[in-house]
Amino acid sequence: MTVFLAASDESSGATETSGAFVAGGFVAPESTWDNVLSPAWRERVLEGPPSIPFLHMTDVRKPRWRDKYQIQEWEADARVEEAVRVIRSTGRLHPVTSQVDSAAFARTLARIDIQGVTGNEERFERDYICFLLFAMHVLNNVVLTYPDTTRVDFVAEHSSSSKERMLRKLFADLPGELVRIGLGRAAPVVGHLRFRGKDDIPLQAADLVCWHERRLLAYGRNGLDSATRRRYARISRMIGFRHRWSDEALEVMAGNLEERARLQPLLRQPRRATKARQNL
Where exactly are the structural domains of the chain?
Answer: 2-279
Supply the pLDDT for residue 234. 94
Supply the pLDDT for residue 13. 57
Supply the pLDDT for residue 279. 39
Task: Point out the residues of the chain with pLDDT beneath 70.
Answer: 12-19, 110-126, 260-280
Supply the pLDDT for residue 142. 95
Supply the pLDDT for residue 14. 52
Supply the pLDDT for residue 202. 98
Of 141, 142, 114, 143, the closest CA to residue 128 belongs to: 114
Residues 215, 174 contacting (CB under 8 angstroms):
no
Supply the pLDDT for residue 126. 66
Amino acid residing at 261 = A
Amino acid residing at 209 = V
* Distance in Å from the first CA to the final CA of the chain: 54
Residues 83, 45 contacting (CB under 8 angstroms):
yes
Length of the chain, in residues: 280
Supply the pLDDT for residue 215. 84
Q: What kind and span of H or E run contains 121?
A: strand 121-123
Q: CB neighbours of 273 closer than 8 A, spacing ≥ 6?
A: none
